[in-house]
Amino acid sequence: MEIKKIRGVVKDYAWGNKDYIPSLTGKYTGSPQAELWLGTHPAGCAAAEDGKTLAELIREDRSLLGEDWERRGGLLPFMMKILAVDSPLSIQCHPDKAQAEAGWKREADSRSKGLPVSYQDDNGKRELFMALSPAAALCGFRDIEEIKADLAAVIPGAFGRTIRSLSGSIRELFMGLFALPASEKAIILSEYRDSLSSSSEPRMEGLFLSRCGVALRCLEKYPDDISCLFPYLMNLVHLQIGEALDIVPGTLHAYVFGCGVEVMDASDNVLRAGLTGKRIDLEELERIASFNAGKPLRCVPSPDGYGRSVYASSSDNYKLISVPSGRYEIAGDKLGIAMVTEGSARFSSHGESLTLEKGEAAVIPASLHYTLSSRGQLYISEVF
């Protein structure tokens, strides 16, 4: 069978959920399992049943990428992940291609000396997140007047004493908070914690965390981090199952709670602002981040010629396809990574067949004509 099963790589980050990814893989450890990687990244490359890595398969078999092999240099241009989020991820943003190339070049000397760097490669990074459960995220900045009104209500003492003078613009407020003396940050966070703990604002809005609920989760995990204020600076987005966000370079964001499929450009470039124990490079973050207020970009699916739902992001490297129960005759022309999250899916081509059960994944070669019978839910990340 030309379609090959592949095994993903599980990442057990502390912010992960103990149950969702094990419910797919059947491998319960009792520890948080945050991400299931289905790609060719060196830090976690998927592999076929015979042990050959996905990167090796694509490099050695040009039929997998087909006519895209030369254009893509024999490389998979995206990574697919399953995310299971129990507590807020780091607040972060990603560079575009030009910024990544400049940063990679600028840090060449530091990299050669083994010093810490902010760029892991010279690629830009866009990402798409589609909810597999009710999910919440912080994404982009709110209007400065809305920010000031909420901060004045939540931390009136700190706002009058310190923050009002920093609020000429979003950029000024953002950078000014980090520049405050540690003693002032501690006073602000103490007032903030007391105010939220005694607030009548509900922690939940139906199935979702409220702004107050998100802020308290941040404080619980990072009690001394001034970026715990950011739930009041950023848009709080609630995603129902099947709804998706398109994260463009420069957009500050953090996934807060819930499970989803994430597809991203093949880059590991992350500039972090807070809620993390990892390196923060505020100078570079200020250089690439967008400090404009605006609504998050929703990625709305549209039907393709086969009756599937396609999430076409702003990236020119990938698209995500949702395949519900049904029978499909597919004349493919692009490589895809398929993952079953519910039920099973049977692929048939040239008299052969392959069945994927819940939690199993496969690589689909370009230019393959096949019949697909899905009983449940299947997702395919496909080269654009």
Q: For the segment 40-71, what is each residue's pLDDT rounded down to a tens digit?
A: 988 899 999 999 999 999 999 999 999 999 99
What does the mean pLDDT of the chain come to?
96
Q: Are 96 and 226 in contact (CB under 8 A)?
A: no
Q: What pLDDT, on the 0 to 100 scale, is given for residue 128?
A: 98
Pick the catalytic residue from 164, 272, 327, 375.
Answer: 272
On the question of a common fold for 7-113+120-137+240-273 and 320-383, the answer reads yes
- Condensed to tens digits (0 to 9), the pLDDT of residues 19-41 reads 999 999 999 999 999 999 999 98
320-383 maps to CATH 3.30.230.10: no
Q: What pLDDT, on the 0 to 100 scale, is given for residue 320?
A: 98
Task: Assess whether pLDDT exceeds 90 at residue 204.
Answer: no
Element (H, E) at 135: strand 135-141
Return the exposure string of 267-303: e unless at least 16 CB atoms fall within 10 Å of the residue's CB, then b.
Answer: bebbbbbbbbeeebbbebbeebbbbebeebbebebee
Q: What pLDDT, on the 0 to 100 scale, is given for residue 206?
A: 83
Task: Assess whether pLDDT exceeds 80 at residue 1.
Answer: no
Q: Is 272 a catalytic residue?
A: yes
Rounded average pLDDT over 105-129: 96
Element (H, E) at 311: strand 309-311
- Report the percent of the chain where pLDDT is more than 90: 95
At 201, the pLDDT band (50, 70, 90 cuts) reads confident
CA atoms of 78 and 313, how far apart (whole Å)? 12
Instruction: Give the β-pairing of 78-85 and 361-364.
Output: unpaired
Residue 33, SS3 per DSSP: strand
CA dihedral 256, 257, 258, 260 (to 10 degrees): 20
- Condensed to tens digits (0 to 9), the pLDDT of residues 132-161 reads 999 999 999 999 999 999 999 999 999 999
Fold classification of 7-113+120-137+240-273 (topology level): Jelly Rolls (2.60.120)
Domain map (residue ranges) of the chain = 7-113+120-137+240-273, 143-231, 320-383
Q: What pLDDT, on the 0 to 100 scale, is given for residue 142?
A: 98
Q: What pLDDT, on the 0 to 100 scale, is given for residue 43?
A: 86
Could you tell me the CA-to-CA distances from 56 to 9, 66, 332 in Å, in that order?
16, 15, 22
At 207, the pLDDT band (50, 70, 90 cuts) reads confident
